[in-house]
Amino acid sequence: MPTPERTSLDEIVTAAREILESDGLARLTMQAVAERVGVRAPSLYKRVRNREALIKLVAEATADAMGEQLRAVPRTADPRTDLGNLARAFRAFAHRRPAAYRLILGPEAVPMDVARLAEASAPLLEVAAELAGPEEALNAARLFTAWGNGFIGMELAGAFNLGGDIEAAFEYGIRHLADALSGHRA
């Protein structure tokens, strides 16, 4: 008589996501995940190859969620406005799930599935194309996403603690990058 399934891959990834965010990566143990989904640790290996693979699944789920968030940003007729709104949505997401966000960039960065990242940043590529022209769209999008990732990474790492207005610095970045990409005066 087959034992009934007592959990699922989805439940496991969700549990891991929650533990990561509330307790940090070091406390994201197989035992903690197992306990949360109501099973013993060895059973997890029926659905997940190992801890590293589980962490990768969490990172990919995070990229997907981020992409969804960006696609939900309403678009206007002005690409400059859109650029700012996308950047703010991006930052808001990172603030809401900082540990997961760090997972994507951070050290020991899990080699992320490329298609997933492309999917997530598609809206940004569109706006970059509107702003910088199709020729320079990829370079422009990379300039902008690099800045955004870097800014948020430094912010989460506490690298901006010297004071100064972080909000203002973020808006300064949006404004000047929009200028730089569109070829306007700064």
Residue ranges binding DNA (CB under 7 A)? 1-7, 27-32, 39-43, 45-46, 50-52
Asked whether position 180 contacts a second copy by CB under 8 A, the answer is yes
Identify the burial level of 182 via C-beta atoms within 10 angstroms of its C-beta, where 0-12 means exposed, 13-18 middle and 19 or more buried: middle
User: Smallest gap, in angstroms, from Cβ of residue 163 to DNA?
Assistant: 32
Among residues 153, 164, 140, 45, which one has the least CA distance to residue 94? 153
Among residues 178, 24, 11, 21, which one has the least CA distance to residue 94? 21
Asked whether position 24 contacts a second copy by CB under 8 A, the answer is yes
d(CA 137, CA 68): 21
The residue type at 164: G
By C-beta, is 29 or 149 nearer to DNA?
Answer: 29
Among residues 142, 121, 132, 127, which one has the least CA distance to residue 84? 127
From 3, 111, 134, 135, residue interacting with a second copy (rule: CB under 8 A): 111
* Window 125-164: residues binding a second copy (CB under 8 A): 136, 138-139, 142-143, 145-151, 153-154, 156-162, 164
The entry of a second copy, DNA, none near residue 31 (CB within 5 to 8 angstroms by kind) is DNA
Neighbours of 168 (CB within 10 A): 9
By C-beta, is 69 or 160 nearer to a second copy?
Answer: 160
The token pair at 10 is 């989805």
User: Smallest gap, in angstroms, from Cβ of residue 76 to a second copy?
Assistant: 22
By C-beta, is 7 or 145 nearer to DNA?
Answer: 7
From 47, 56, 80, 102, residue interacting with a second copy (rule: CB under 8 A): 102
Identify the burial level of 122 via C-beta atoms within 10 angstroms of its C-beta, where 0-12 means exposed, 13-18 middle and 19 or more buried: middle
User: Smallest gap, in angstroms, from Cβ of residue 53 to DNA?
Assistant: 8
The token pair at 179 is 């200028």
Binding site for a second copy (CB under 8 A): 24-26, 99, 102-109, 111-112, 114, 117-118, 136, 138-139, 142-143, 145-151, 153-154, 156-162, 164, 168-169, 172-173, 176-177, 179-186
